[in-house]
Amino acid sequence: MIFVLDIIHLLDWPKRLLFYITNPVSFGIYNTNRNVGKQFHFIFQARFAAQENKALKEQVGKLLSENATLRKKLAETEVLVSQEKHLDPSTYNLLPARPIGLGRYLKIDKGETSGIKVGQAVVFEGNYVGKVVTVSPASSNIQLLTDPDSKVAGFSQNKEGKGKGIILGQFGTEILMDKILHEEKVAEDDLVYSEGLEGFLPRGLILGRVSQVLERENEVFKQAKLQPIFDVRDLELVFVIED
């Protein structure tokens, strides 16, 4: 019956009516499915991008870390080469150590197990850093030249002559050259060197640079303020002079 009606086109209007009713619904379902598909695709892409971004960040972090390690090793190698120019390794046994802390004393990462002993001198290139005062199995404390308890014999040298004195640590970063005879020649910018009278300290290590000469009339001695050549906080390596 339906077939006959369809042949004589009596179902054309109902078909058209049904088409107009169902077509928007079909389009809505199709559009909804398409939007849902897009949302799932966006979520998938976002997750993939986030994972990729995380992996890239980890890779960049690893490369930066490796670069920093290589730069540090290069800097330490340069220090080792430079150190050999100032203290002949055939004359002195030098043990490199890394600074790992700074308070009153400079703490280094070498101790008894590395052969460190109390009283050994610590240097950087041609400069005196300080003296080992306490030792543990894996670390040591270094009394700096600026420490109030530090005292070493030193001398200055310029074209006019030489001045001798006792190098005393002061509070902070101050260093004082004391007991200089008035007739001895000391001037600003003179370098001051170790005399080497203490036994543990080689002669000729740089102790500092004269920043000010202090003179008073009718005084037997004069003094000079010294400025350190380097900031100990900037040191990557120091060297312990072994026995």
Structure tokens at 169: 């640590």
* DSSP alpha helix (H) spans, the chain: 2-7, 12-86
Please give the CATH number for the structural domain made up of 151-227: 2.40.10.350
Any idea which of 62-66, 126-130, 239-243 has the lowest mean pLDDT?
62-66
Helix (H, G, I), strand (E, B) or coil at 232: helix
Structure tokens at 210: 């004269």
Cα–Cα dist 175/212, whole Å: 11
Q: Do domains 93-145+234-242 and 151-227 have the same CATH topology?
A: yes
More confident residue, 5 or 202: 202
**Would the pLDDT of 83 be above 80?**
no
- Mean residue pLDDT of the chain comes to 79
pLDDT at 96 over 80: yes
Q: How far apart are CA 221 and CA 22, in angstroms?
A: 113
Domain boundary assignment for the chain: 1-86, 93-145+234-242, 151-227
Instruction: Say which residue, 82 or 110, is predicted with more confidence.
Output: 110
The 10s digit of each residue's pLDDT in 149-203 is 999 999 998 888 899 999 999 877 789 999 999 999 999 999 999 999 998 999 9
Closest by CA to 143, choosing from 154, 127, 132, is: 132
Q: What is the pLDDT of residue 46?
A: 61
At 120, give phi and psi (nearest 5°). Answer: -75, 145
User: 3-state DSSP helix/strand/coil percent for the chain, to nearest 5?
Assistant: 35, 35, 30
Question: How much is the pLDDT for 173?
Answer: 77
51, pLDDT greater than 60: yes
**How many angstroms separate the CA atoms of 234 and 149, rounded?**
23
Are the C-beta atoms of residues 154 and 131 closer than 8 Å to each other?
no
Q: Which one of 3.40.190.10, 3.40.50.2300, 2.40.10.340, 1.10.10.60 gives the CATH number of domain 93-145+234-242?
A: 2.40.10.340
Rg (CA), the chain: 40
